[in-house]
Chain A
Amino acid sequence: MEYTEKVLEYFRNPRNMGKMENPDGVGRVGNPVCGDVMEISIRVKDNRIEDIKFETFGCGAAIATSSVVTELARGKTLEEAEKITNQQVVEFLGGLPPVKKHCSLLAEEGLKAAIADYRARQARKKAG
């Protein structure tokens, strides 16, 4: 199994890593039993992802893909960010070993879950 230089680079120096104070939306996906958990937090301003951070428990690919998805999503409108696919994450990294493809899917799902959480919170605010 071999990682591309880009995967190793993003694993070694992950962008947007850490916890966010008072996020507008949080998505947590994966399962510690399966060996990977991703948490993606977003801050939204004027329907755009103004800030985004991740925390990941997992292998090299899990850490690299979660970092990449935050880079791809930063500055995008919610609608644009929702269209980001795991395939884009894989392409950005110059490929992933087949057994690691699920990590990129987790990254896509994590971002979507964060946006969904943001929308749910907004809906609650309106209702409340």
Chain B
Amino acid sequence: MIYLDYNATTPCDRRVLEAMEPFLKERFENPSSLYRGSRENKKAIEQARQQVARLLSCAPEEIFFTSGGTEADNWAIKSTAWALREKGNHIITSSIEHHAVLNTCAFLVKQGFRITYLPVSAEGIVDLEVLKKAISRETILVTIMHANNEIGTIQPLTEIAGLLKEKGILFHTDAVQTAGKLPLSVKELGVDMLSLSGHKFYGPKGVGALYVRKGWRLPPLLHGGEQEHGRRAGTENVAGIVGLGEAARLAKEEMAEEAVRVRALRDKLEEKIRQSVPEVIFNGHREKRLYNTANLCVKYVEGESMLLHLDFEGICASSGSACTSGSLEPSHVLLALGLPHEVAHGSLRFSLGKYSTESDVEAVAAVLPEIVAKLRAMSPLWPKER
């Protein structure tokens, strides 16, 4: 199998699995209990908290473990909205957010909140001028993703934070695609809250974290026991948390080297496709973008049909296309870039990672031109005369 869908999820690193294993076996004690085993497990959680804090250059007390990126996004947005309702009812986000943010905002609309969806440029970058104009006295929260999962474009968070600071508006970012991939400093980014997810950087599924800046007392979303200092109830997913911590440690150590290697592979893949497949549009900002992501639209062909053929060849990729997600609309991200519907339907995303190799790139380059030619031959939209 050739796996090129690392933005969807990553395999668990062997070292992460090894770190987790005792907590799925003999070290099962509830960290909230009194006996020695429990205290040791509590310590393991605190060590993981430090590891994640180091990844984000923040204090351990600012890290709260969750069940993943979706919970972290829901918590940050809903609890902020509800806590500051007296102050205002306006939230600003972007039109290319992950559904964990978009659908949370849509839910809040039903409760009387007003949401502004910032447009993006053709490269997928939010317009700061539009943001400035969108800010009102009612604005209580801005939530803008760090890097987009489909096209990889990285947003100018520091500049955005600069606009918000003087106005005292809280700033949240969904950093699910950058945590573990890029060096992050929450202070430099200037965010008040940041969501991350373990399985996007070789940790396990079902665990993530929310950074909450000291001084912002975000009320809990989940009520119950006193875990996470009463901010996030529920018996801790100890094995998952330990796995997340180890994944954070490894990422911090290895990301610089990985970035160079993976970028070279991604660039090579794009170059090979550019040379061998005509009428392709490459999406996302050329420089300000994740080093592992290649997103393209193949004109006159639909995305799912390309994915199926790639799957026949043992290649796992993805498409923002309609059909894969079970909706008939093409990717909201590609439409926000201004691509016509029929072009957006033909999207393909290859996202690389630490187990990607030169031969994976060669394999795609070897089969994609034929797949596209075959599908174009049967497409009534492809001008056959040329």
Contacts and interface: CB of A to CB of B under 8 A. Distances in A.
A35 B302 contact: yes
A34 B323 CA distance: 11
B383 interface: no
A55 B341 contact: no
Most buried by A among B303, B326, B345: B345
Nearest to B378: A17
A84 to B, nearest CB: 21
Interface in B359-386: 377-382, 384
Interface in A23-65: 28, 32-39, 54-63
* Interface size range of chain A in the complex: 20 to 34
B341 A34 contact: yes
Interface in A53-87: 54-63
A58 B308 contact: no
A102 B300 CA distance: 20
B301 interface: yes
B346 to A, nearest CB: 9
B342 A63 contact: no
A87 B384 CA distance: 33
Given A35-B302, A36-B302, A56-B378, A11 B321 contact: no
B322 A35 contact: yes
B328 interface: yes
Contacts of B330: 35
B323 A59 contact: yes
A33 B308 contact: no
A18 B380 contact: no
B342 A14 contact: no
A35 B378 contact: no
A18 B384 CA distance: 11
B304 interface: yes
A12 interface: yes
A48 to B, nearest CB: 25
Contacts of B384: 19
B380 A39 contact: yes
Contacts of A12: 308-309, 312
- The majority secondary structure among interface residues of chain A is mixed
A61 B321 CA distance: 14
Contact of B341 (A18, A35, A54, A100): A35
B47 interface: no
Nearest to A54: B378
A11 B341 CA distance: 23
Contacts of B322: 35, 59
Interface string B294-318: 0000001111110011001000000
A60 B305 contact: yes
Contacts of B309: 12
A11 B96 CA distance: 32
Most buried by A among B305, B328, B341, B382: B305
Nearest to A17: B378
Given A11-B308, A12-B312, A35-B345, A57 B328 contact: no
A1 B323 CA distance: 9
Contact of B308 (A8, A18, A38, A97): A8
Nearest to B309: A12
A99 interface: yes
Given A11-B308, A57-B301, A62-B302, A35 B328 contact: yes
Given A18-B378, A28-B380, A37-B380, A57 B302 contact: yes
B378 A60 contact: no
A93 to B, nearest CB: 14
A59 B302 contact: yes
Contacts of A100: 323
A34 B330 CA distance: 8
Nearest to B303: A59
Contact of B305 (A17, A38, A63, A102): A63
A118 to B, nearest CB: 18
Contacts of A39: 380
A58 B305 contact: yes
B339 to A, nearest CB: 12
Contacts of A18: 377-378
A100 B323 CA distance: 8
Nearest to A57: B379
Contacts of A62: 302, 305
10 contacts: A1-B326, A11-B305, A14-B378, A19-B384, A36-B302, A60-B308, A61-B323, A63-B305, A99-B327, A102-B328
Q: Which 5 A-B pairs have the closest CB atoms?
A: A32-B342, A59-B323, A59-B304, A55-B380, A35-B345
